[in-house]
């Protein structure tokens, strides 16, 4: 039996489809979605959109790692909470050191594919979270590349195994899975549990 942590620090670059991945995970038993409110919702036609609290520079909640600050985002602290921020990419070592009982989940998608999808999903017109601090498309592309680099470097240091986001991966990682209609061929995921990467590949 897999015991889930109180928090999973969840990160991926803008346009990596990490929000869609998060929404699937949050359907699993034991996950807390009490951070979802009408003002934390962004729908865009057939896209998965955004639901729940996002932490980040210039956003509603800042990328602060203090537990009391983080926990205010949810209505209650029961179950497992996904703590979402693009900026965790730059704080992974700090998270590992200060939140030793929590997990880290990384989502990777190549730079250009992420950049294109972020624009297609609304770009700077996205209502939540706010991307104004990214300034313009040139800076956004640079930030995507920088965040992906930080994510890959950290995963390499931990000897992490990247895998496709599938029902089988969910079952191995969280102890439960839900049906999926699609597996994205350019999206990879990995989880670091309690400072040690749990190698789920057989």
Q: Which pLDDT band, with edges at 50, 70 and 90, does 159 fall under?
A: very high
pLDDT per position as a tens digit, 45-77: 555 688 999 999 999 999 999 999 999 999 999
Whether 43 has a pLDDT exceeding 90, the answer reads no
Residue ranges covered by each domain of the chain: 7-197
What secondary structure does DSSP assign to 85-154, as a single string?
Answer: EGGGGG-HHHHHHH-TTSEEEEEE--HHHHHHHHHHTTGGG--SS--GGG-SHHHHHHHHHHHHHHHHHH
pLDDT per position as a tens digit, 115-140: 999 999 999 999 999 999 999 999 99
Angle 133-46-131 (CA atoms, 0-180°, nearest 5)?
Answer: 0
Q: What is the pLDDT of residue 1?
A: 85
Instruction: Record the pTM.
Output: 0.94
Q: What is the pLDDT of residue 201?
A: 34
């Amino acid at each position: 039996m897999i015991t889930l942590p109180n928090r999973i620090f969840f990160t991926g670059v803008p346009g990596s489809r990490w929000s869609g991945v998060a929404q699937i995970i949050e359907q699993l038993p034991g996950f807390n979605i009490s951070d979802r409110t009408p003002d934390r919702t962004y729908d865009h036609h057939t896209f998965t959109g955004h639901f729940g609290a996002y932490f980040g520079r210039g956003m509603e909640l800042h990328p602060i790692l203090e537990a009391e600050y983080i926990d205010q985002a949810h209505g209650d602290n029961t179950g497992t909470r996904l703590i979402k921020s693009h900026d965790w990419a730059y704080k992974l070592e700090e998270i590992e050191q200060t939140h030793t009982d929590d997990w880290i989940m990384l989502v990777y998608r190549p730079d250009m594919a992420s950049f294109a999808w972020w624009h297609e999903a609304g770009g700077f017109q996205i209502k939540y979270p706010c991307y104004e601090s990214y300034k313009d498309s040139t800076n956004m592309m640079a930030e995507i590349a920088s965040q992906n680099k930080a994510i890959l470097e950290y995963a390499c240091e931990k000897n992490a195994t990247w895998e496709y986001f599938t029902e089988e991966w969910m079952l191995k990682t969280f102890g439960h899975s839900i049906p999926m209609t699609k597996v994205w061929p350019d999206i990879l995921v990995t989880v670091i549990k309690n400072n040690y990467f749990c190698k789920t590949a057989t």
